Amino acid sequence: MILQQTRTSNKKILTIIAHVLAWAVFFTLPILVFFPRMRDPISDHMLVSIICNDVFLVLFYYLNTLVLVPKLLVKEKWLWYVLSVIASLAFFLYVPRQIVSLLVDPEVINPNNREFIRNPAFKGTPRYFGNFRRRPVADPYNTVLFLLVFTFGAAVSVIQRWLKTEQNRKETENEKLNTELSFLKSQVNPHFFFNTLNNIYSLAVVRSEKTAPAVMKLSAIMRYILTETQRDKVPLNNEVDFIHNFIDLQQVRLTDKVQVHFLADENTSTLLVAPLLFIPFVENAFKYGVSTKESSRIDITIKTEGNKILFTSVNYIVPSENNLMENTGIGINNVKRRLELMYPEKHKLITSEKDNYYTVQLEIET
């Protein structure tokens, strides 16, 4: 919280500094470019006029960006916005010159000695320095300058609002994806825990030596789900250990008619993978490939090739009216969705059914 407040404060300071520097460049550049070419020196009246105009330009810029754009332009009140711009322009062309004339009398240059002469008789009617012509009411230079500042301010405000909208949209989308991923990661079949506890209870009743190891494996599985799955990626060997424990607990309830083979590369610690990504396929193999009446077989392998992970699961399809492999439930659909979110264009999932065996082949590029 403190770190976020510090970042916000630093961002505001940087924004203020950027605005000050931008205005400094905007106002000093014309002076540096044009004034050295002028034949006559700058009078006090002209200097005050420049400063006064600059102050009003700054005020109108922030009036436009902070009030007119969000209140009128963004809300598509086009007529009111145009009328506000026209009223602001008329104010800018008339009021600043009157203020300057009240502060400093107009000056003209004496053609004999090139010095400025005060001329109060022309007070309130500023003229171009160097001659006696009155400045027209519709000053082209100040009009263009005003419209430039107003247009630039409107463009900056609209772009900032668009960028903020895009940022909010991306943050909302990312939050939605994170929430969805968290939900998908948490969906380990609850029936597994229920059945495992029943099996452990059965072992405890007969005082089997397998009771304590089974409890430890279940504890390891629950610890993994509660801790490791909070991360986006985990070492592959952690996932392998999790599958080992899962298979061992499943075998507690199996008979000798079911043959389970799990093979994983020894060195899998260098690669990272999304947690609980393979377990729905493993659950599915036990759900549809286990029979208490006839022989069945489950083969699961995890191999690595460079930065690729190759997962394969093959199980015998036990005949049953309600056990259709093409309808494998929400677990497999969740895995497909997670793969789309976490490995876009970096995964290949192939499922097939042949000779009464169901095969899953998953290739992931980490």
Name the pLDDT band for 105 (thresholds 50, 70, 90): low
In the predicted structure, residue 359 carries a pLDDT above the cut 90? yes
C-alpha 5/C-alpha 208 separation (Å) is 59
In the predicted structure, residue 363 carries a pLDDT above the cut 90? yes
pLDDT at 230: 75
Residue 41: strand, helix, or coil? coil
pLDDT at 315: 92
All structural domains of the chain, each given as residue ranges with its CATH number in brackets, are: 38-181 (no CATH), 188-365 (3.30.565.10)
Lowest mean pLDDT of 128-137, 219-228, 238-247, 316-325, name the range.
Answer: 128-137
Q: Which of 260, 275, 287 is nearest to 338 (CA)?
A: 275
pLDDT at 166: 82
Contact criterion met (CB below 8 Å) for 302 and 309: yes
pLDDT at 322: 46
The 10s digit of each residue's pLDDT in 109-125 is 555 555 555 554 444 44
Query: Which residues partner with 292 through β-bridges?
Result: none
pLDDT at 310: 95
In the predicted structure, residue 126 carries a pLDDT above the cut 50? no
Residue 355 zone, left/alpha/beta (φ > 0; ψ -120 to 50; rest): left
In the predicted structure, residue 323 carries a pLDDT above the cut 80? no
For the residues 30-44, what does the mean pLDDT come to?
58
- Identify the DSSP state of 276: T
C-alpha 214/C-alpha 217 separation (Å) is 5
Query: Which residues partner with 258 through β-bridges?
Result: 296
pLDDT at 217: 87
Lowest mean pLDDT of 22-36, 45-59, 104-118, 333-347, name the range.
Answer: 104-118
Contact criterion met (CB below 8 Å) for 98 and 137: no
Phi, psi values for residue 263, rounded to 5°: -125, 125
pLDDT at 9: 65
pLDDT at 328: 47
**DSSP track, 167-193:** HHHHHHHHHHHHHHHHHHHT---HHHH
Q: Which residues contact 339 (CB under 8 A, 6 or more apart)?
A: 277, 347, 349, 362, 364
Residue 322: strand, helix, or coil? coil
For the residues 120-136, what does the mean pLDDT come to?
43
Q: Which residues contact 257 (CB under 8 A, 6 or more apart)?
A: 291, 292, 293, 294, 295, 296
**DSSP track, 220-234:** HHHHHHHHGGGSS-E
In the predicted structure, residue 233 carries a pLDDT above the cut 90? no
- Name the residue with higher pLDDT: 310 or 317: 310
pLDDT at 263: 93
pLDDT at 311: 96
Work out the mean pLDDT of the chain and round it to a whole number.
Answer: 76
* For the ranges 95-109, 185-199, 284-298, the one whose mean pLDDT is highest: 284-298
pLDDT at 129: 38
For the residues 33-54, what does the mean pLDDT come to?
66
258: number of Cβ within 10 Å: 22
C-alpha 298/C-alpha 281 separation (Å) is 11
C-alpha 61/C-alpha 75 separation (Å) is 19
C-alpha 200/C-alpha 24 separation (Å) is 78
Q: Which residues of 139-156 are buried (b: 16+ CB within 10 A; e: fewer)?
A: beebeebbeebbeebbee
Name the pLDDT band for 360 (thresholds 50, 70, 90): very high
For the residues 42-60, what does the mean pLDDT come to?
77
Q: Which of 274, 363, 283 is nearest to 330 (CA)?
A: 283
The 10s digit of each residue's pLDDT in 145-178 is 888 888 888 888 888 888 887 877 777 666 666 6
Q: Model pTM greater than 0.85?
A: no
